[in-house]
Structure 1
Amino acid sequence: MEKYTAIDLFCGAGGLHIGFENAGFRIKLCVDNNDIVEKTHKRNFPNIPIINRDINKVSTDEIREYLDDDNVDVIIGGPPCQGFSTIGHRVSSNPEKRNQKDPRNELVLTYARIINEIRPKFIVMENVKGILTLEKGAYLQNVLSILVKAGYNVEYKLINMADYGVPEVRERVIIIGNRIGMPVTFPTPDHSDNPDDNLPGWENCWNVLKDLEKMPDNPSFNHVALKHTCKNIERYKLIPEGGRLPEDKLSKELYRKNFGNTYKRLARNRPALTMVPGNDAFPIHPTLNRSLTVREAARIQTFPDTVIFEGNRRQQGHQVGNAVPPVFSKKLAIFILEQIKKAKDLGIYECD
């Protein structure tokens, strides 16, 4: 079977390229700017080269050195953009306005520039929901216009990963484009929370968590329970399954201001809440009075157990929370392969 090539910019822990490789793509190169990510990558993907550097300082000539004169079929990537994440930093002068000048936002434009210079046939970009409203939508339109000027048909869609079999409610913006003249479409959901859709229901999180419920701590498996304070454990005991902390019913000893989103407990019969990057940001276990371990969060994100995350717990959590679920990325990759084969059948794939 013919192998098509891809490079992964802002690869993180590899959630995107795991799916693309499992679908049959050859991953020629990964790029990121994080020493811990590089350690995770070299441990889990030793056969895929990685450039660990600020992408603004990576030239397209350097990227081409890894391609062995191959054309790039697909560039994939998820530029980090916590600067306009809906849970990201807020500008102090206006708490409702996201930090639009965060330098991380410019990485999206760098991603578009590299696409323009490498000129793959297809492009895939994953981003947080907040990109839809940044600068009232003007920011996203600017990114799309850059790609259109480079000759790409591009469209975006807000996708819930639960609709593709991921046991997690996780909404992300997916941008797909091609420069071969094909209309841009998106993979069809294969799960639904609506019985009228006649699809399998959303996957529940318990199926991927239950065998870890009584497992002892295992640092080499990224499975270590946080040591919560006694006060927090008492708070967790009050959180019903599938619910959140009843702040209005707390005793004076347990009350405090500004409880965060971490005081929510997962329900065994439902998908998990969104895994977000951070040390203490994972939600509460469905049956235990503690937050999820990194391995449990990785299971929810559909990482195989063979992927081991390097760094301390916070660094591991960031890698897991920032990733694209591999189950979704494989379905996305299969969809792109189908588009490539359709273009070849039409005789338009090799056009410049």
Structure 2
Amino acid sequence: MKKYNIVDLFSGAGGFQIGFERQGFKVLLSTDFDADCENVHKINRPKVPFLKIDIHDLDSDTIDKYVKKGSNIDVLIGGPPCQGFSTIGKRISSDPNKRTAFDPRNTLFREYIRILRYLQPKFFLMENVEGLLTRDKGRIFAEIKKTFAETGYDFNYVILNAADYGVPQIRNRVFFYGNRVGVKMHPPTPQYGESTGKPYKTVGEAISDLADKGDDPSINHVALKHGAINIRRYSLIPEGGRLPEDNLPPELYRKNFGNTFKRLHRNKPSLTMVPGHNAFPIHPWLNRSLTVREAARIQTFPDSYIFAGPRQKQCMQVGNAVPPLLAEVWAKYLREELDKYYARI
């Protein structure tokens, strides 16, 4: 299997990388600004060059220390955080000619495209939340399309549901993809769901064997110690349903019940893994929220992959990641296109 080269920006916990590595891609450089994500990479892939840096400071001189000038970069991947603004103190300014936290010209997708222009990979793949398409009345999306068009890359975008590709989770995300080598690209074909005749993978298939397993910090499988009131609330939530807010005893009522008061169904895909206040959705049949490892299983991370930092940061690492299985589907498709490209040159 020929080794193709990738660079990963906004790496987070590395879900994107796992999928590409499984398809034989070599990671030349991985970057993120978060110290706990840096530790995740040190633990799980110590031989992959990782640079902890604010993306705004990732200039050509810095890149050249890790990726040699003229390196054969096949694919640039990454998922810029959807809010897209640096809130580091020195970045905040009232001067309209400088970077500010509220200037849409400085959203992080622009940093991705800046580095795309410099590295000139053959293909690129950028992931983000579906809501990006309508945020700020569509102005950010229009800016993204305009900026990509200026790069000279042929590009397109698609919304994919991870469940269609074997991930036991309903998770819609937008992928921007393109190339500069004349390939007419198309998104990967769904492999599961009604249109395929193959049922979605389920929560039960992913996590049922962990239900009777005690806490195991070595694999991030530690149950939150919920208070008695929340446990009573959880006991009222039907499998696959949510807390009956309009029919609660007065002592159990509170304002603003959120997604953490929804229970998953063992025979269906999960809700989207989005961490909130240190908790994931409720286990299908246990009166507690999912552990980090259970959420990681639903995201298709292997049990051997370890998350680092405080529990809340571990939840963020899992919930914000591109599911490795979905990343692998993209990687397989891009490998096939690269094979054909190199065969004809």
**Is TM-score (shorter-chain normalized) higher than 0.5?**
yes
Q: Which one of the candidate residues 232, 237, 250 is aligned to 1:252?
A: 250
In structure 2, distance between residues paired with 1:280 and 1:247: 21
Matching residue within 274, 284, 293 for 1:295? 293
Letter in 1 for 2:131: G
Q: Distance in 1 between matches of 2:276 and 2:36?
A: 14
Counterpart CA distance in 2 for 1:211 and 1:9 is 34
Q: Does 1:178 align with 2:159?
A: no
Partner letter of residue 321 of structure 2?
A: A
- Is this contact kept in 2: 1:279–1:313, CA < 8 A? no
Q: Residue deviations 1:215-235, cap 9 Å, x none?
A: 111122111111111011000
Contact 1:162 1:271 in 2 (8 A): yes
Q: Distance in 1 between matches of 2:278 and 2:39?
A: 22
Moved more, 140-149 or 62-71: 62-71
Inter-partner Cα distance in structure 1 for 2:124 and 2:150: 14
Show the counterpart of 1:17: 17
Give the match for residue 96 of structure 2.
Answer: none
Contact persistence 1:280–1:291 (CA under 8 A)? no
Q: Distance in 2 between matches of 1:135 and 1:335?
A: 33
Q: 1:83 to 1:223 in 2, by over 3 A?
A: same
Q: Aligned to 1:315, which of 299, 313, 316?
A: 313
Q: How much identity, in percent, do the aligned residues show? A: 52
8 Å CA contact 2:279–2:290 kept in 1: the answer is no
Distance 1:46 1:162 in 2: 31
Amino acid at match of 2:24: G
CA distance in 1, matches of 2:251, 2:5: 58
CA distance in 2, matches of 1:105, 1:171: 25
Match of 1:283, SS? coil
- Deviation, 1:80, is 1.0
Q: Deviations over 1:199-227 (max 9, x none)?
A: 31110011111110011111221111111
User: Are residue 341 (structure 1) and residue 342 (structure 2) matched?
Assistant: no
Q: Normalising by the residue count of structure 2, what TM-score does the alignment of the two structures yield? A: 0.92
The answer to whether the 8 Å contact 1:7/1:30 transfers is yes
CA contact (8 A) 2:104 2:140 kept: no
Structure 1 contact 83–102 (Cα < 8 Å) conserved: no
CA distance in 2: counterparts of 1:48 and 1:38, whole angstroms: 11
Shift of 1:134: 1.6
Deviation at 1:281, TM superposition (A): 3.7
Shift in Å, 1:107? 1.0
Which amino acid in 2 is paired with 1:140?
F
Contact 2:123 / 2:180 at 8 angstroms: preserved in 1? yes
1:31 & 1:137 partners in 2: Cα distance? 28
Q: 1:215 aligns with which of 203, 213, 216?
A: 213
**Of the candidates 211, 217, 226, which is equivalent to residue 228 of structure 1?**
226
Contact map agreement 1:154 1:176 (CA 8 A) in 2: yes
Shift of 1:131: 0.7
Distance (Å, rounded) in 2 between the aligned partners of 1:315 and 1:102: 27
In 2, distance between residues paired with 1:136 and 1:258? 26
Give the whole-Å Cα distance in 2 for the aligned partners of 1:201 and 1:17.
27
Q: CA deviation at 1:151?
A: 1.0
2:109 is aligned with 1:108: yes
> Are 2:84 and 2:109, in contact at CA under 8 Å, matched by a contact in 1?
no
Q: Tell me, yes or no, if the aligned pair for 2:84 and 2:107 is still in contact at 8 Å.
A: no
Matched length:
329
Deviations 1:78-121 (A, max 9, x none): 0112469xxxxxxxxxxxxxxx9378971111111110111111
- The answer to whether the 8 Å contact 1:16/1:325 transfers is yes
Q: Which sections of structure 2, spanning at least 5 residues, go unmatched?
A: 86-100
- Are 2:160 and 1:162 aligned? no
Q: 1:23-102 counterparts in 2 under 5 A? A: 23-68=23-68, 69-82=70-83, 101=102
Higher deviation after alignment, 177-186 or 152-161: 177-186
| Alignment partners' CA distance in 2, 1:225 and 1:82 | 30
Query: For residue 6 of structure 1, what is the aligned residue in structure 2?
Result: 6
TM-score of the two chains, using structure 1 as the length reference: 0.90
Which runs of no fewer than 5 residues in structure 1 stay unpaired? 85-99, 348-352
Give me the whole-angstrom Cα distance separating, in 2, the residues matched to 1:63 and 1:165.
35
Equivalent pair of 1:310/1:316 in contact (CA under 8 Å)? yes
* CA deviation vs aligned residue, 1:226-258 (integer Å, no higher than 9, x gap): 111101100000000000001111011111111
Q: Deviations over 1:37-60 (max 9, x none)?
A: 111110101010111010101112
Cα RMSD (Å): 1.7
Change (3 A) 1:242 1:105: farther
Secondary structure in 2 matching 1:21: helix
Counterpart secondary structure, 1:226: coil
Structure 2 match to 1:201: 199
Structure 2: distance between partners of 1:198 and 1:112: 35
- How far apart, CA to CA, are the structure 2 residues paired with 1:104 and 1:333? 30
